[in-house]
């Protein structure tokens, strides 16, 4: 789900500067509206960039104004607002469907990074993160970095809006949380959606299931676990029969499944049109022998999530609460794992507080331990991080950045919109970014802000 496309109209904004009178015009459309699957969405006008946004589950998607009450989405499908006889907006139409406005009285999302500092970012004053009895010690930035100035500048640039829709930045270095900054109305108690950054933690939960003996080994053949669930697996051949759990953990499945390849039968958008995403994945034709090379495929992680449920005879959410989140003291989170069209808006993703992402990453960095308790076995963590440059290991990704000839290595959990959890073992550091730049490559043809911010500011502050 690196660039997961929503099943709703995904909308792009005008890049031209508009007068404030146009912003006032956009206020006509604000409100809560009906949406697909008996859900709702909000329409919000942004004073920051004079753009109209559709907001679904806290994710915002800009609308491109064409004329009068007409807007378009990225597929050039019209989104047309309707007015009553008094000229009041009462709904919108798109793709042959009509949706009514429910109310204009709703809680608007914050459109400024920090409104009070937006026009005076140099007034930003760094503050040491607070200790809140969650198991994370805190420290000062200048104690962890001899040259903290680039990181201070990074925060100021975010406040200016130069890195839009970055919702949080956290840095944990030398066993202390030294930076904790939130933007756009987010704060330390706000669980944030992870999108595909959920997948590596599914890998960890599977490791716990193996450690506890619910599943004998990741070397076991995969298909026999599903024989009682599905009467028949399509495109079954000798190559598919060889598939192991580990093949899926390392995305070395050999199937015709590549997320970002529209020609691939297993690409994410095609999978999401099916009724059962796990069955769809298992039915895919084989492309080559499993285990040969990696190909990023969302269906692999979802299939492994279902495998955990089959092996443990529990919902994965309950198993994770008992064996992962509970021992780490993680309580303020949300997760409904349902890999089918019922998850067309939530994608079976986790929503977790950024500080808790630090805790999860620290547990991995410390060999599967948290406060002296072995949560995931050391051997599973070792196998997770035993990967080649730029490849995958047990649903984590090896991500490296080269600056002035030096290679900085990290283990990455990444999700659409700018969710980045990086473990930097050689620097004794963890960085966490959350954000709302959903489908940024599709919309703007560029990567999300953390891909620029990490090397330019954070690694630049490292000796």
pLDDT in tens, 275-327: 999 999 999 999 999 999 999 999 999 999 999 999 999 999 999 999 999 99
Smallest CA-to-CA distance from 338 within 249, 282, 272, 283 is with 272
Any idea where the domains of the chain sit in the sequence?
20-103, 192-461
Note the residue count of the chain.
463
Quick check: 76 pLDDT over 80? no
For residue 11, the model assigns a pLDDT of: 37
C-alpha angle 100-103-105 in degrees, rounded to nearest 5: 160
Determine the average pLDDT of the residues in 125-134: 97
**CATH number of the structural domain 20-103:** 2.40.128.50
Copy the structure tokens of residue 379. Answer: 């051997």
At 9 the pLDDT is 38
Average pLDDT, the chain: 93
pTM of the prediction? 0.92
Asked if residue 245 lies in contact with residue 222, where contact means CB atoms within 8 angstroms, the answer is: yes
Closest CA to 62 of 81, 78, 39, 46: 46
Share of the chain above pLDDT 90, in %: 88
Tokens 């970002």 belong to residue: 260
Q: Confidence band (pLDDT; 50, 70, 90) for 446?
A: low
Kindly tell me the burial class for residue 185, based on how many C-beta atoms sit within 10 Å of its own C-beta (0-12, 13-18, 19 or more).
Answer: middle
The answer, yes or no, to whether residue 223 has pLDDT greater than 80, is yes
Q: Which has the higher per-residue pLDDT, 446 or 437?
A: 437
pLDDT above 70 as % of the chain: 94
Tokens 């092996």 label which residue? Answer: 311
In this predicted structure, the answer to whether residue 400 has a pLDDT above a threshold of 70 is yes
Strands 406-415 and 396-403 turn out to be antiparallel
Q: What is the pLDDT of residue 13?
A: 40
Show the tokens assigned to 145.
Answer: 């970095």
Give the model confidence (pLDDT) of 414-425 as tens digits.
999 999 999 999
- CA-nearest of 398, 294, 335 to 205 is 335
Q: In this model, does residue 154 exceed pLDDT 60?
A: yes
| Strands of the sheet with 333-335, listed across from one edge | 192-193, 350-352, 333-335
Q: Is 375 within 8 Å of 328 (Cβ atoms)?
A: yes
CB 419 within 8 A of CB 2: no
Q: Which residue has the tokens 């095609």?
A: 270
- The CA-CA-CA angle for residues 46, 417, 106, to 5°, reads 40
- pLDDT for res 441: 57
pLDDT of res. 57: 87
Q: How confident is the model at residue 344 (pLDDT cuts 50, 70, 90)?
A: confident
β-strand pairing of 166-173 with 429-435: antiparallel
Largest CA distance in the chain: 69
Tokens at 244, concatenated: 């192991």
Dihedral sign, Cα of residue 205, residue 208, residue 214, residue 217: positive
**Per-residue confidence (pLDDT) for residue 72, from 0 to 100:** 84
For residue 25, the model assigns a pLDDT of 94
pLDDT per residue as tens digits for the range 5-37 = 333 333 334 444 444 578 999 999 999 999 988
**Interatomic CA distance for residues 338 and 143, integer angstroms:** 44
Place of tokens 């040259």: 147
- The pLDDT of 47-75, averaged and rounded, is 89
Do residues 88 and 31 make contact, with C-beta atoms less than 8 angstroms apart?
no
Helix (H, G, I), strand (E, B) or coil at 240: helix
Phi, psi of 454 (to 5 degrees): -65, -55
CA pair distance 209, 145, nearest whole angstrom: 39
The angle, 0 to 180 degrees and rounded to 10, between the axes of the packed helices 199-211 and 298-312 is 30
Question: CB–CB of 33/91 below 8 Å?
Answer: yes
Rounded distance, CA 135 to CA 372, Å? 12
pLDDT of residue 106: 95
Phi, psi of 370 (to 5 degrees): -135, 115
Residue 110: alpha-carbon gap to chain centroid: 20
pLDDT at 445: 53
The residue among 75 and 101 whose pLDDT is bigger is 101
Inter-residue long-range contacts of 127-134, CB under 8 Å, 24+ positions, other chains counted: 128/178, 129/177, 129/178, 129/179, 129/180, 132/188, 132/355, 134/329, 134/355, 134/356, 134/359
On the 0-12 / 13-18 / 19+ scale of CB atoms within 10 A, 134 is middle
Q: Once rounded to an integer, what is the mean pLDDT over residues 169-184?
A: 98
Tens-place pLDDT, residues 355-378: 999 999 999 999 999 999 999 999
**The CATH number of the domain covering residues in 192-461:** 3.40.710.10
As to burial, measured by CB atoms within 10 angstroms (0-12 exposed, 13-18 middle, 19+ buried), residue 216 is: exposed
State how far the Cα of 167 lies from the Cα of 28, in Å rounded to an integer.
27
Residue 10 has a pLDDT of 36
Average pLDDT (72-92) is: 91
Question: What is the pLDDT confidence band of residue 73, given thresholds at 50, 70 and 90?
Answer: confident
């Amino acid at each position: 789900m690196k660039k997961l496309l929503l099943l709703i109209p995904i909308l792009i904004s005008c890049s031209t500067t508009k007068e404030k009178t146009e912003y006032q015009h956009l206020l006509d459309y604000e409100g809560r509206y009906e949406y697909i699957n008996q859900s709702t969405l909000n329409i919000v006008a942004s004073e920051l960039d004079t753009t109209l946004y559709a907001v679904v589950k806290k994710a915002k998607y800009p609308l491109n104004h064409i004329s009068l009450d007409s807007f378009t989405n990225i597929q050039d499908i019209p989104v047309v607002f309707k007015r009553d006889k008094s000229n009041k907006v009462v709904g919108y139409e798109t793709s042959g469907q009509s949706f009514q406005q429910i109310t204009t009285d709703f809680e608007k999302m914050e459109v400024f990074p920090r409104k009070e500092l937006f026009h005076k970012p140099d007034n930003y004053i760094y503050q040491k993160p607070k200790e809140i009895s969650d198991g994370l010690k805190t420290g000062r930035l200048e104690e962890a970095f001899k040259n903290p100035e680039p990181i201070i500048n990074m925060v100021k640039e975010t406040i200016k809006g130069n890195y839009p829709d970055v919702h949080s930045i956290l840095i944990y270095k030398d066993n202390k949380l030294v930076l904790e900054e939130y933007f756009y109305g987010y704060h330390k108690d706000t669980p944030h959606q992870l999108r595909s950054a959920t997948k590596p933690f599914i890998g960890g939960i599977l490791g716990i299931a193996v450690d506890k003996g619910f599943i004998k080994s990741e070397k076991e053949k995969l298909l026999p676990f599903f024989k009682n669930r599905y009467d028949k697996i399509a495109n079954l051949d000798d190559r598919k029969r060889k598939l192991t759990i580990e093949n899926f953990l390392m995305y070395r499945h050999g199937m015709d499944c590549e997320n970002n390849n529209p020609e691939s039968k297993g690409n994410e958008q095609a999978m999401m049109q099916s009724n059962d995403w796990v069955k769809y994945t298992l039915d895919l034709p084989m492309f080559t022998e499993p285990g040969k090379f990696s190909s990023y495929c969302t269906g692999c992680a979802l299939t492994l999530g279902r495998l955990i449920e089959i092996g443990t005879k529990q919902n994965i959410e309950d198993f994770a609460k008992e064996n992962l989140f509970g021992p780490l003291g993680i309580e303020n989170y949300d997760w409904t794992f349902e890999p089918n069209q019922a998850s067309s808006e939530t994608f079976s993703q986790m929503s977790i507080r950024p500080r808790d992402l630090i805790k999860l990453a620290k547990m991995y960095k410390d060999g599967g331990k948290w406060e002296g308790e072995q949560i995931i076995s050391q051997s599973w963590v070792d196998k997770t991080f035993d990967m080649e440059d730029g490849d995958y290991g047990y649903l984590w990704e090896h991500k490296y950045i080269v600056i002035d000839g030096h290679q900085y290595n990290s283990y990455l959990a990444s999700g659409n919109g700018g969710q980045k959890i990086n473990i930097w073992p050689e620097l004794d550091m963890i960085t966490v970014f959350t954000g709302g730049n959903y489908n940024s490559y599709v919309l703007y043809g560029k990567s999300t802000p953390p891909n620029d911010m990490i090397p330019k500011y954070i690694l630049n502050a490292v000796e």
